[in-house]
């Protein structure tokens, strides 16, 4: 059975392509999901692509990944800077975690420079646009393969 990679997206990412396209670009989350699914097929893995505006739902998905996930790609969006709960859930996950941000958070407001998720992440990709998801998926496959 192919390895399963969770791709988790936080609040407001459902508005990708419509919300501040000068920062986040014009691609939609459906476009990102399509591109990740195509790459996953090439890499021989499956993806579970999920988005929620609710912190508790994201935590529940991380818990689920403990049972069947080989790795997690996560764009926690605003929860990056606020959620100890997501950090704690990720700390309970044994596989690799890659944090993704579409924009370069380090060129933005000061509060965006701190990430709770980075304390657990095995890698962070920021400022590469939606291509960051595909870069993260490739990295997860590399890391998950080395842990097999």
- Is 101 marked active-site? yes
Residue 145, pLDDT score: 83
Residue whose entry in the numeric block shows the structure tokens 């309970």: 92
Residue 27, pLDDT score: 83
What are the sequence ranges of the domains in the chain?
3-147
Catalytic, out of 6, 24, 79, 116: 24
For residues 2 and 68, the answer to whether their CB atoms sit within 8 Å is no
Average pLDDT of the residues in 17-39:
84
**Per-residue pLDDT band at 1 (split at 50, 70, 90):** very low
- Is 63 marked active-site? no
Distances (CA, A) of 46 to 2, 26, 42, 114, 126: 6, 26, 10, 31, 23
CATH superfamily of 3-147: Dehydroquinase, class II (3.40.50.9100)
**Per-residue pLDDT band at 110 (split at 50, 70, 90):** confident
**Per-residue pLDDT band at 2 (split at 50, 70, 90):** low
**Over the stretch 121-130, which tens digit does the pLDDT of each residue have?**
999 999 999 9
Average pLDDT of the residues in 37-62:
97
**Which comes out higher in pLDDT, residue 69 or 82?**
69
**Which comes out higher in pLDDT, residue 140 or 145?**
140
Catalytic, out of 6, 63, 79, 101: 101
Residue 24, pLDDT score: 63
- Sign, CA dihedral 75-133-121-147, equals positive
Average pLDDT of the residues in 68-74:
97
The secondary element (H helix, E strand) that includes residue 125 is strand 123-126
Q: Distance (Å, rounded) from C-alpha 97 to C-alpha 120? A: 7
Average pLDDT of the residues in 70-89:
95
Mean pLDDT, the chain, integer: 90
pLDDT at residue 93 tops 70: yes
For residues 41 and 2, the answer to whether their CB atoms sit within 8 Å is no
Prediction pTM value: 0.90
């Amino acid at each position: 059975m192919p390895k399963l990679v969770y791709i988790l997206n936080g609040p407001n990412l459902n508005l990708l392509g419509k919300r501040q396209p000068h920062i986040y670009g014009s691609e939609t989350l459906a476009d990102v999901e399509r591109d990740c699914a195509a790459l996953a097929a090439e890499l021989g893995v499956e993806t579970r692509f999920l988005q929620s505006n609710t912190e508790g739902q994201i935590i529940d998905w991380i818990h689920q990944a403990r049972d069947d996930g080989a790795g997690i790609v996560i764009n926690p969006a605003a929860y990056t800077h606020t959620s100890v709960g997501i950090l704690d859930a990720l700390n309970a996950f044994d596989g690799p975690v890659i944090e993704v941000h579409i924009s370069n958070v380090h060129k933005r407001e000061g509060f965006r420079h701190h990430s709770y998720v980075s304390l657990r992440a095995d890698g962070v990709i920021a400022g590469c646009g939606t291509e960051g998801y595909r870069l993260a998926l490739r990295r997860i496959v590399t890391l998950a393969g080395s842990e097999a």
